[in-house]
Structure formats: structure tokens, C-alpha cells
Amino acid sequence: MAVSAIVIRYKLYRDPEALEDLRARFQIPDMIARTAEDATTDHGPDFRWQASVLGGELQGFLPEPPLLDVGFLIEAVEASRSVCLVSVADLKRSGTGFLVGERFVLTNHHVIFPDGPPADRVARARAISLQFGTYSAAGRSAVQRFRLAEDSPIQASSPEDALDYILLKAEGELSFAAGVRPAVLEPAVPPVGAAFHTLQHPGGGTMKLAVSENSVKFVDPARGIAQYATRTGQGSSGAPCFTEDWKVAALHHAERARWNGAIREGILMKNILAEIGAHVG
């Protein structure tokens, strides 16, 4: 029974029906079959994991949560002022984005155009809202919502099979809104072994912080990708990947679940800046 429980817990059978049959035959409690990893879902474009580190080594097992310096948390709060929930009303979907420059928000192309650009791009632009300050504490969250500008709401973009980004122009000047500030961008390529921290809106909910040291496992500057172990979720597409000094080094765009972990991929800011530098200064 113990071996069967391990097989079920870590999904060592690829066939879901075989797992369920094994669970029923040996009466394995459902709480073992359902784990926190079940919350991991595939999202974003497909990609091939290229790091030598296996998926099972990504999350690791710690005896207890690490101690976090309060100064680090204060810096995280400051960085969160650049991050927003990106909602697309006509698609009933959402993602994450972040402010670059005074009125431009960067997110994934596939968040806005999951099936490619629609015939009426203007209508899609009007369905988009940017929501800053969506935190969990009731009554303490100063939520601010912005629409896109009427003139040229989409400033630049690259499809999901390339750099998978879209640069949105918001109404007004977001950087002058209370509690909002542009992200600090990192044009350098992060090394393997670097930390990647993310601020994101998984599931279209309140903002979440994911901290991960030694997160970056593979970098390909020519293709403009970084692969890492930092935890993300559905709705986290478009989230900024921060370095230790809270500069955005990559744009998160995809995750794939594996039986022994999850793998994630983002687009390097260095490559995106080569295309949007003229817009963000």
C-alpha cells in the first residue's frame, strides 16, 4: 500500500485512469491523491525544458520556511506598485502586467490575443482594464482602474511564438497616480543560478509574491528566454521576474506541469527592450 501511495502522490503513472484505479483498489485516501501541486496547471505557449536540472529538483524540500529580511519585504511592496491585474472583459480572462515608463503597461501577447489578433482590435482594446493596488487586506487596498488610451492603445507587440509581449498605452500618465510607479528594468542577462522573484495575479485574484533563490536554470540570450523554478499559476502570465535588487529581468509567459514538479519560462527584458526602447525611454 505504501508503494501505491507514493505512485499516486507523485503521479508516477501517466494515465489518470490507472492512477484512479490504483487508488480505489488499495483504498488510498483522496487527500493523498490530491496535493498542492495539483494547483499547477499548464498555461502560456508550449516550450521545451533545456536545463540539466530535473523537474523534481526544482521545488526542493525545506524543513521549514526560510526567514525573510523585513527590508526585503519593504522593497517587494515598493516593487508591487508597478504591477497590475490585466483584465480582458470580452474574453473573461486575465493576466498580470507591469508599468514601464509613464503610461505603458507590458504583458504577454497571448493574454490579450490568445487566438491571434481579432478582426476588431479597437473593440479588444476597449475591453481591457488595468487594475493597480489589488491586495488582500480588505479596506486597505487603494484599487485604481485605468482604461487604454483612445489613440494608439497598442504601441508594440510580438506574437507568442517570438517574444510574446504586448505594450499597452494607458489613459493619462499612470506614473503620477497615487501609489503607482514604473518598474525598474534590467537590460542585462541574468546568470544561471540567479534569484527570480515574481509579483503576480494568479487566478485573477489579489497580488501574490513568489520568492525563489537559485531559480534561473537556463538562459538563451539569442532566443531571448530564461527558464526558472519560481512558482507561478494560471493568470500569472505577464508577471515581472525580479532580480535580487528588484529590477525586472524577464517577462513570465509560460508554465508546464510535470509529474515531479513544474517548469516555467520567461522572455528576457534585454530582448524586449531592443524592440520597445524608443517607447519607454
Q: pLDDT tens-digit profile of 1-41?
A: 455 555 545 565 556 666 566 555 555 554 444 444 445 56
Share of the chain above pLDDT 70, in %: 77
**Helix or strand (DSSP H, E) at 216:** strand 216-220
Q: pLDDT tens-digit profile of 105-133?
A: 999 999 999 988 888 888 999 999 999 99
Q: Which of 13-22, 239-248, 257-266 has the highest mean pLDDT?
A: 239-248
**The whole model's pTM is what?**
0.79
C-alpha cell at 194: 540567479
Residue (of 195, 257, 258) closest to 230 by Cα position: 195
Q: Give the least confident one: 6-15, 61-70, 124-133, 224-233.
A: 6-15
Residue 84 near residue 76, CB atoms below 8 Å: no
Higher pLDDT, 69 or 252: 252
The amino acid that residue 173 corresponds to is E
The amino acid that residue 141 corresponds to is S
Supply the pLDDT for residue 137. Answer: 60
Residue appearing with cell numbers 487586506:
137
Do 81-176 and 39-70+184-280 fall under one CATH topology? yes
Dihedral Cα 223, 40, 247, 268, nearest 10 deg:
10
What are the extents of the domains in the chain? 2-34, 39-70+184-280, 81-176
C-alpha cell at 26: 488499495
Q: Is the dihedral of CA 250, 45, 84, 210 positive or negative?
A: negative
Instruction: Give the domain 39-70+184-280 fold.
Output: Thrombin, subunit H (2.40.10)
Supply the pLDDT for residue 30. Answer: 47
Per-residue HEC secondary structure of 16-55 comes to HHHHHHHHHHCCCCHHHHCCHHHHCCCECCCCCCCCCCCC
Residue (of 254, 240, 232) closest to 190 by Cα position: 240
What CATH number is given for 81-176 in this structure?
2.40.10.10
